[in-house]
Structure 1
Amino acid sequence: ADRIDRRKLLYGTQLILAGLAATLAILVQTGLIQLWHLYVLAVVTGIVTALDGPALQAFAADLTGPTLIRQAVSLNMMGFQVSRMVGPSVAGLLVGFYGSATAFWVNAASFLAVVLALLRVRFTNEGASGQRGARSGAGGGTTMDAVRHILGNANLVNFYIYPLLYMFGAASTMTLYPVYVGDVLHRDARALGTIVGAWGAGNLATSFLVLPLVQNVRRTGLLSAGLLIWFGAMLALLWVISLPPVMASIEASGAALGLPDPVVLAACVATFLSGATGPIVLSMASGLQQMMAPPTMRARLAAIGTTITFGTQPFVNLAVGYTGEIFGAPTALLANGVFVSVLVLLLVTFRRSVRAEVIRPHTMVNPSQPGPATGAPDGGDRTPAPAHAPARAEVAPVSSAHA
């Protein structure tokens, strides 16, 4: 995605994804579908998505230019949250009224809608440089060049650490909630759907109401750290709710107030509040990764972020699930929350760049005019900027009183 025109690459990936969805629709409609078809389609979809995702993230920066990248990523996060809430509901209605094949046909058509949108895209003067670089071959280089670029900037490293820590916490929701609701709270699938839906509602509310308000926050490191600790606290709150004396107290209070299933309601409050972390941490990290990247390296930096964040997810899920199997789901939730919070506190304590991080988009240097080498503001080794790499986003100096 850094070597060729990103728009042409997205044409290809979206059309292939549309073809895969249409293939599934045909197989379902004709009754020829078999399990191995699903395996093959899933593998191919994963391969294409690995190309499509980083290209889409870098394309947002091409559209807006560096000064509006964070706002563009926020809009993308809002759309993602809406689709995550609305998509399954629409699919359920389509399957219920018209059958599974119709739902897959609609999914295929949705990719064609993206292609039509790409045909109408017009770049800003500032945002077109990445596309010109890709078309001219200026995006050459290897993934190791991107890794060296990341390691040479302590602030950029932080934006890969925050999403990884969030995924440690989010893995609890995906792995432990079914056991927590069924075996601990002794509720059914409807209660599970309600609790998980409250988490999604928290994500959605944060994306629309809070995320636009924090775009200009200067100490993004402290904001991300605080939100991760908040997430850990909500996981600990779920452990507290599961304690038998606490559950009995909640039941009694709820009965006095006439509340239906107060234990589930209390769990919904905790998961709703935990939803404040993901949209802000992920969108800020993604936006600032792109803002601090050279235009011809944006897709590689996005791909590294995706690999770190989502590539480690299966292993995190396995570790969290194993902990839950040995110690029980509530204890695993508590341990995961404490683990994330302690790591965040260590980062804040020992990495000065986390405390001092003040990103100023207007200080971005013209990529065609490489600036002097910048050093790691937390006292790390100073790494000279590669000759082919543009200067990175600058960090406002912080007085020793705040170090």
Structure 2
Amino acid sequence: MKAVCWQGTGKVAVERVPDPRILNPRDAIVKVTSSAICGSDVHLYDGYVPTMMRGDILGHEFMGEVVEVGSAVSNLSIGDRVVVPFPISCGNCFFCERELFSLCENSNPNAGMAEKFWGHSPAGIFGYSHLTGGYAGGQAEYVRVPFADIGPLKVPNQLSDEQVLFLSDILPTGYMAAENCNIQPGDTVAVWGCGPVGLFAIKSALLLGAGRVIAIDRFAERLHLARQAGAEIIDYDHADTMSTLREMTGGRGPDACIDAVGMEAHMHGMHEAYDRVKQALRMETDRPGVLRQALQSCRNGGTVSVAGVYGGLVDKIPFGAIVNKALTIKSGQTHVHRYMKPLLERIEKGEIDPSFIITHRVSIDEVPDAYAMFRDKQDQCVKVVIRPS
């Protein structure tokens, strides 16, 4: 089969690799009908996530048709159309029983490696480094899905792939980011980053009762989509983010702030230069400029929700602001399984059509060029969908 494989920093290639096969009675094989490039994939592409190996198959946002099932999978049949959540979860461990699916204790075969890096291991993740299991991802024609009796969600035929594909990751991620804000009716929520997760966080915050959402970015196409999603906007190329937020909130600050950017934040000023130098010298792994702004901008007693991915070590975090402002910080890889059915119901009711973020559609052979386009924000690219077949 064809698959998109990591070849080193800044390089991916489409290769012929062996077809996946059933390895465990709880496995299924899915023929991929749609996949996508995620902002988290760009962190791999840019070389900021350790333990990637040449030839690793990328991609954790995908859906398709079940073509084979293991003997222990009774909930799926050949021909079923499914969306697959990006965390791999057993459904039976301490964390899965508490619906903390991205913390599954049984799905990461490289847990010892992750424990040395983070203290404890998260769940396995499709196509996302050997720290999280080294599982082959979904930017391919076929995928082996472990614990298929727990993860994949069957979707109705009357909904298109583009309406349901993002249930695999970014729609639940944006929703959990908003849910973590403990939004009260009329609250003001600030969202840094108007990429796909930020756009879904905007939509979700409004669905959960926010009175205002203020979106921060610098790319016109993203700010346009944020405004269409219902947000007021700040273009940080033309306005100071923190002072503008103070003015827009009467000096108090937003009730909640969402960092939908993560480890590769682009900023202005000395902090940006400082982070780039330290990152180049490997004295910190991530650029946390947005996180700093969110912590300093949030009102006293507010909540900062971190949906953007951070992989390792960051510097100059204003921890005094967390303590002295009595902030609540919530974060985590998304517990996708928990949100898939409720969000599917919202899609079926017409409350949200996730396809509004799609700007580009490519074949699998075009994916290497699409990575560069997406990373570099070329051609007004916001979201790329891949048709592997």
Q: Which has the larger radius of gyration?
A: 1
Q: Hey, which of these two has a bigger chunk of helix by percent? A: 1
Tell me the TM-score normalised to structure 1 length. 0.25
* Higher RCO, 1 vs 2 (CA within 8 Å, ≥6 residues apart): 1
Q: Hey, which of these two has a bigger chunk of strand by percent? A: 2
Tell me the TM-score normalised to structure 2 length. 0.26
